[in-house]
Every structure is written in structure tokens, then in C-alpha cells.
Amino acid sequence: MSSSPRRRAREFALQGLYQWLLSGNDPTAIRDQLAESAGFARCDNKLFDRLWQGVTAEYDALQSAYAPYLDRKPGEVSPIEKSILTIGAWELLHAPDVPFKVAINEAVELAKAYGGTDGHKYVNGVLDKLAATARAAEAG
């Protein structure tokens, strides 16, 4: 997938968050490992750092923000979709410089590339509902 620097930042955040959820390793160690990965230099480092700090520091709060819009318990959502939803939720709640449609679209694109067969539809539905409340003035 040919990616813009911003999309690459989201891809690395997804990779790291997935690793963190499965391993429970220290987020700083994961971040350092990602920074040494091939292609990392071509990502938007500022966006990556904002995302990484945000999703790891506020993981539980972000999960609570989108949980009301799930059709199952959060523990039943695949780690990839959970990671994508967390990244999308962070952008909707904490990155007003990113238009809500862009935040949702980027999450959908991640789900198409890395998630299950219809994962992108699920991600779209959940984040669309979250945007209706989190960005009511913009989404309204």
C-alpha cells in the first residue's frame, strides 16, 4: 500500500498498539522498536507520537468512549479492530485539527488493509456513531 506520511503514522500506531495489546510490553520499548523499523522515517513522526502517547495513555477511556456503540462486549472485538477503533476514537476526541470524516475514513482504510473481511464496515459504523456525539457540531 502506497501511504502518505500521515497514513504511515497511523499504520505504525496500529502495529504498535496491536503488539501492546497482545504482549503487554512497555509502550516506550514498543515505540523504540517501531522507530527502528524499515519505513518509519517516512511516517509523520509528530502525528505518530501524538497518537502513540494518546492511545497508550488513555486506552481505557477511549475504549469506554466507543463501547456504547459496539454490538458485543469489548473483549469480543478482534485486537486489530479494537486497535483501529482506539486510534479512530482518539482522533475524534482529541485531534480537532483532523476533520471527523478524515478520522473515520483513515480508520476504515486501516480496517480494509489489516482487518477482517467486513471489519471496515464495523469500524465505520462504530466511529460514525461516536462522531455524532463527540463531534456533534461538525458532524451535525
How many structural domains is the chain composed of? 1
Residue-range definition of the domain harbouring residue 53: 5-139
CATH number, residue 74 = 1.10.940.10
- Tell me, yes or no, if the pTM score tops 0.85: yes
| pLDDT of amino acid 6 | 95
Give CA separation, 26 vs 35, 40, 42, 90, 99, in Å.
Answer: 14, 19, 24, 20, 31
Greater confidence (67 vs 116) lies with: 67
pLDDT tens profile 22-71: 999 999 999 999 999 999 999 999 999 999 999 999 999 999 999 999 99
Average pLDDT estimate for 75-104: 96
Residue 74 predicted with pLDDT over 90:
no
Residue 1 predicted with pLDDT over 50:
no
Residue 102 predicted with pLDDT over 70:
yes
